[in-house]
Amino acid sequence: MYNATETRRWLAENDWTFPLLVEGAAVIRAYGIRNPDHDGTEREGLAHPATIIVDRDGIVRFVNVWINYRDRTSPDEILEQLAALSGP
């Protein structure tokens, strides 16, 4: 399982310069993606897998939440969504 330090290192190694939220319990609650199967004590902040794209103005432009922890938004779909934000 990746932690915040390993994720930051991976992002830097791959020249990803946009912010990525890792281990953000307050944000998980704010977006309503907290996994209700956990009681919120030992595993506070455990979320369903989600991809949330927020534009520079702070407007949420894309949300994809998965209930099954094995499912994820594909990189191709994420890139398509980002391209749509940048316009023609």
The answer, yes or no, to whether residue 1 has pLDDT greater than 50, is no
The answer, yes or no, to whether residue 11 has pLDDT greater than 60, is yes
pLDDT: which is higher, 27 or 15: 15
18 contacts 12 by C-beta, under 8 angstroms: no
Number of alpha helices (DSSP H) and beta strands (DSSP E) in the chain: 3, 2
The answer, yes or no, to whether residue 46 has pLDDT greater than 80, is no
Among 61, 42, 63, 43, residue whose Cα is nearest residue 52? 63
Strand segments, DSSP code E, in 1-88 are: 50-54, 60-65
* pLDDT, tens digit (0-9, with 9 covering 90-100), for 23-43: 667 777 787 777 777 655 555
pTM of the model: 0.60
- Residue ranges of domains in the chain: 4-86
User: 4-86 in CATH: which number?
Assistant: 3.40.30.10
Separation of alpha carbons 49 and 65, rounded Å: 6
